[in-house]
Amino acid sequence: MSAIAVLTSGGDAPGMNAAIRAVTKVAASRGVSVWGVEMGYDGLIDGNFRPLTRLNAKNKNLTPVGDVEAMGSLGGTVLGSSRSPRFHTREGRAQAVAQLNSYSVEGLIVIGGNGSLAGAHVLAQESSIPVVGIPASIDNDIGLSREALGVDTALNTIIDACDRITDTARSHHRAFIVEVMGRQSGYLAMAAAVATAADGVLLPEHRRNREEVVKAVIECIVESFGQARDKTRVLILKAEGVDITTHELLDEVEKVVPPDIEVRSTVLGHLVRGGNASFRDRLLAGRFGLVAVEAVLSGVTDRMVGWNHTEAGDPTSDSWIRLFPIADVLEETTALLDGTSSVTMDRVRRMEAIQGVLSL
């Protein structure tokens, strides 16, 4: 194999650039050139390829181009990303394969979330080009990997923001409802609630209706500011996927709580996506990238690399990184989000077990 390509797709996540760097450096060390596909699957269809490796004039070996070294610490994705309706059509995918062939690309690595992996799965089935996926999603909603790229950085960002909000909340004796991203997964809210010693957490996995959510928040705030406790602030984390907007929730809560209790809300939004990748995301990106390149060069296709110390999946050169059929990944991802996965059930059980502790 003489050339491979790498693309990023879907929502951006810190660690994507570190994965691009790892893929490029590992491939170059094996004498394989790398093309970066700009703007995801749309760029694949349009043939927007840029070289990530070059021939070293001194020793005639392949080496990464100059900006590859610097990109590893950056958040987002330097290759760009997009959601491509054209790739959902057979004609669009056929054009993408034709572009890969025109650049003599013999393997493709896709870095992204559920939708990106679904695209990689179809492309692997419809072409003879080996395709391997790397999970990247701050929501941590990808099956068969303990963590995806971007999760650790996002959590560090949330914790830093909540610590700052706590400073001002404590100064004014206020309650804050802080919404974090995550779509239909409550993982970020759950993990951050524990790390910030929040007084409560609202998760879509709890399946509460609007009235139940409002009641739970009111009870948490009133009890936390009660005379039996010395609370100077109340912090409640709300996952994006909870079935009531943060603005509406604040309005409903303010109607009921005593007038001497001030309640504020903050939606962190896309702030959670940005920022330079953390140590763990960079390390994980390097390990994912190494195994992904090794897999593609061996002709492995329709697989995702996952951080999962289990007997499931195919072993790799890294004892903690295994290869999983993308079809199995997509099936487990669906189960994670609809609540039927054992992983989701365990998360809900753990949060229910510590709800009383959070509010102390």
Residues of the chain with CATH 3.40.50.460: 152-274
- Confidence (pLDDT) at 226: 81
Q: What is the mean pLDDT of the chain?
A: 93
Question: Per residue in 166-198, pLDDT tens?
Answer: 999 999 999 999 999 998 899 999 999 999 999
List, in order, residues 6 or more apart from 290 with CB less than 8 Å away. 22, 26, 317, 318
CA distance 9 to 20: 12
Q: What is the mean pLDDT of residues 286-307?
A: 98
Confidence (pTM): 0.94
- Confidence (pLDDT) at 57: 76
Q: What is the mean pLDDT of residues 332-349?
A: 89
Spelled out in words, what is the top-level CATH class assigned to the domain 3-150+277-339? alpha beta
- DSSP secondary structure letters along 109-129: EEEESHHHHHHHHHHHHHSSS
- Confidence (pLDDT) at 197: 92
- Confidence (pLDDT) at 359: 57
pLDDT at 274 over 50: yes
Q: Which of 42, 46, 67, 139 is catalytic?
A: 139
- Confidence (pLDDT) at 312: 86
Amino acid, single-letter form, for residue 234: V
Question: Per residue in 39-70, pLDDT tens?
Answer: 999 999 999 999 999 988 777 789 999 899 88
Residue with the bigger pLDDT between 126 and 356: it is 126
- Confidence (pLDDT) at 309: 73
**Position 357 confidence tier, pLDDT thresholds 50, 70, 90:** low
- Confidence (pLDDT) at 347: 83
% of the chain beyond a pLDDT of 70 = 98
- For the question of residue 318 being annotated catalytic, the response is no
pLDDT at 33 over 70: yes
Cβ–Cβ under 8 Å, residues 23 and 292: yes
- Confidence (pLDDT) at 351: 78
Question: Per residue in 70-124, pLDDT tens?
Answer: 898 899 999 999 889 999 999 999 999 999 999 999 999 999 999 999 999 999 9
Amino acid, single-letter form, for residue 251: D
pLDDT at 360 over 60: no
Q: What is the mean pLDDT of residues 286-299?
A: 98
Question: Per residue in 207-234, pLDDT tens?
Answer: 889 999 999 999 999 988 886 567 889 9
Spelled out in words, what is the top-level CATH class assigned to the domain 152-274? alpha beta
Residue with the bigger pLDDT between 177 and 1: it is 177
Residues of the chain with CATH 3.40.50.450: 3-150+277-339
- Residue burial 149-160, b: 16+ Cβ < 10 Å; e: rest: bbbbbbbbbbee
Query: CA 60, 66, 68, 69: dihedral to nearest 10 degrees?
Result: 100
Smallest CA-to-CA distance from 210 within 249, 175, 169, 183 is with 249
Instruction: Identify the bridge partners of residue 51 per DSSP, sorted by sequence position.
Output: 35
- DSSP secondary structure letters along 305-319: EEE--SSSSB--SST
Q: What is the mean pLDDT of residues 135-141?
A: 95
Residues written for the chain: 360
Question: Per residue in 4-23, pLDDT tens?
Answer: 999 999 999 999 999 999 99
